[in-house]
Amino acid sequence: MRNQAAVAWVSAIVCFIILMLVTPAIPQSQEYHNFADGREFFGIPNALNVISNFPFLIIGLVGFVLTVYKNYFNLSLPGERWGWSFFFIGVAAVAFGSSYYHLKPDDARLVWDRLPMTVAFTSIIAIFIIERVDARKGTWSIIPLVLVGVISIMYWRFFDDLRPYALVQFVPCIAIPLMAILLPPMYSHSTYWLWAAGFYILAKIEEATDRAIFNFTHHIVSGHTLKHLCAAMVPIFLAIMLAKRVVSEERRSLLQIWRISWSKVKENGRGEENASCSYTTVSVNEKD
């Protein structure tokens, strides 16, 4: 097991080094700071992009309190409390970092927007390792993974190169749904992970179509404001999952569950087909 973990880490580092060598640097485009909706309300510049961060504060604080207070979520492993605490702290901090950035968007303030999001991303990866791979290794990976995220932001800020940060942000988007589908979970209600991933992908689409959505809605709301609201649904779904889930008696991945369900559907379909094609033979007595 130790050898496999060492091989995995070495492989990841080698792939990262090769990627950095063969790909060009990705500078931060200054157009990124030019959001569609710059309206001011109540003396707040870019008001809707600022105010729409408020849900992060609420769900982050609620999630953190329920994680640490009397173990409301019934977390069975010590490392889980640390992982989920880091996650909900990161979510709550997004409200402050993102609001600070949107009051006057520039590269210096963007650091504080991205930093708490990165803490949330990386802690989620650690949580998956704890729950589905190895509890001890996952617990020990929390701090290193968070540090990797912080370093990726510092690298971008000092060298104007987004490649490490892009990996930290987008690798979880691929890894988390795959791990949710393929790796057997400790707990029930794993489909909530997929709902959370779906809302995050939707948020990224809304971010990319910021101005198009603003024009489509006749300047009522922009894509970036909707992005904040959709992204806030991610911790909401995960908090609901934590409240509802129980320890699974049989550890089956979502893929295994889907295969079993599909087999049952096919068997029921065959049964109905056989029933519809069966006939009753009735004897007829002929009379002279």
**Residue for token pair 């710059």:** 38
Burial class of residue 210, CB neighbours in 10 A (0-12, 13-18, 19+): buried
Burial class of residue 214, CB neighbours in 10 A (0-12, 13-18, 19+): buried
Which residues lie across from 187 on neighbouring strands?
247
Residue 13 has pLDDT above 90, yes or no: no
CB distance 164 to 13 below 8 Å? no
Name the DSSP letter for residue 282.
-
152 vs 260, higher pLDDT = 152
- Give the model's pLDDT for residue 190: 86
Distance CA 39, CA 201 (A): 26
Residue 246 has pLDDT above 70, yes or no: yes
- Give the model's pLDDT for residue 132: 85
Question: pLDDT tens digits, residue range 77-91?
Answer: 889 999 999 999 999
Question: pLDDT tens digits, residue range 89-135?
Answer: 999 999 999 999 999 999 999 999 999 999 998 999 999 889 888 88
Angle subtended at Cα 273 by Cα 272 and Cα 276, rounded to the nearest 5 degrees: 85
Name the DSSP letter for residue 32.
G
Distance CA 145, CA 156 (A): 17
Question: pLDDT tens digits, residue range 186-201?
Answer: 888 888 998 999 999 9
Low-confidence winner among 8-12, 27-31, 133-137, 201-205 (lowest mean pLDDT): 8-12
Residue 282 has pLDDT above 60, yes or no: no
- Give the model's pLDDT for residue 77: 84
Q: What is the 3-state secondary structure (H, E, C) of 129-194?
A: HHHHCCHHHHHHHHHHHHHHHHHHHHHHHHHCCCHHHHHHHHHHHHHHHHHHHHCCCCECCCHHHH
20 vs 271, higher pLDDT = 20
Rounded to a whole number, what is the distance in angstroms from the first to the last CA of the chain? 87
The number of CA neighbours under 13 Å toward the Cβ of 189 is: 13
- Give the model's pLDDT for residue 288: 46
Give the pLDDT band (50/70/90) at residue 260: confident
Question: pLDDT tens digits, residue range 130-150?
Answer: 988 888 888 999 999 999 999
Q: What is the pTM of this model?
A: 0.85
Burial class of residue 88, CB neighbours in 10 A (0-12, 13-18, 19+): buried
